[in-house]
Amino acid sequence: MADANTKLRKAGLVFQGGGALGAFELGVARAIYGPHSRFEPDVISGVSIGSINAVLLARPARSMTGLQALESFWRDVAVNHWLSIWLGASASSLGVPGFYSPDLPWLPSRTSLYDIRPLIRTLQALVDFDGLADPSAQPQLMLGTINIETGKSVIFDSREKGLELKHILASASLPPSFPGVSIDGKIHWDGGIFDNTPLGAVIEHLDAPDPEILVVNLFPNENPPPTTLAEVSQVLTNILFANKTDADLRLMEKFNAVADLLDFIDRTFPDSEIHKTREYALLRRYRRVPKVLNVNRTATNKASESSDFSRDGIQGRAREGERLTRIALRDAGLMEASFANTEG
């Protein structure tokens, strides 16, 4: 059996951030890790709630499977049923069980509104932190943050030196709701502020021929014209956090022709001096564009969807995520058609 660190990585999974919309990713996980899927991620990346989902799937407590840990998390964070009926999505402003609570009193000198100790306790119960700290653990995890002092995106890679609780919290520290997290003396915020679709990091780390990546899009790229101020706010949020990788992928596809040319040179002139040149070595560093499967949440202009932690909202998004992922896997030949339109 090949060593875990030398095994070629063929499949990647990318989780966006989006607060309560992350329940859609629970449904995605149900489809991927269900009995009929032939898609098995070797690398999982995430930002914000996507990082939390990724860690729960990849490093669950030893008494659980990844899917069990994820199911437990989303059960724990559902707000009180009657409170959600009374206040709607705004109920989460009073706190979300197992996630965050108001950090009172709110003072101008504070840099965040909520206390995340409930999330810390939840993660301590659901995550295998020894496994999280192990660089050889599989699948590979990549969590995105932004270093606020440099303004640059930072990807923390489990294969480099393992990960810790602080990396999860940093990736999910969306200001001003949650406090920034210090890592190596630098304050980090939610990676979704800079790049809510951490696809590039996964592309760089898939090294098997013909890799495949499933990208979960929680925010739509296309929006109907808003008709109220609340809808204006939601459309703005959708645009800010939507997947913006299409242009990058189209540019990268041009390098596929270069890769084809290099393969031709290798076959036709295996002993050529060109293999020893710096230019050849640099070109060989470029990777082919993988096959990207997009699973797009069906979004509306409904305001505050990302704050709706009601049990009905969570369950509805999870069902949609499972259904749409099954269809995407079927269309990619990664799930038999007879199972694609069923749940469970």
Q: Catalytic residues, which ones?
A: 48, 190
**Can you state the angle between helices 49-58 and 23-32, rounded to 10 degrees?**
30
First to last CA, the chain: 32
| Cα(32)–Cα(40) distance, integer angstroms | 7
Q: Which two tokens stand for residue 338?
A: 């007879």
| Cα(12)–Cα(40) distance, integer angstroms | 8
How many residues can be counted in the chain? 344
For residue 250, the tally of other CB atoms under 10 A from its CB is 10
Q: Which two tokens stand for residue 119?
A: 């999330």
Strand partners, 14: 45, 215
Distances (CA, A) of 275 to 123, 263, 271: 49, 11, 8
For residue 135, the tally of other CB atoms under 10 A from its CB is 14
Phi, psi of 278 (to 5 degrees): -65, -40
Among candidate residues 317, 150, 304, 286, the one with its CA nearest the CA of residue 217: 317
Q: Which two tokens stand for residue 211?
A: 């890799």
Contact of 279 with 253, CB cutoff 8 Å: no
Among candidate residues 173, 209, 206, 213, the one with its CA nearest the CA of residue 189: 173
Among candidate residues 321, 310, 255, the one with its CA nearest the CA of residue 20: 310
Contact of 170 with 184, CB cutoff 8 Å: no
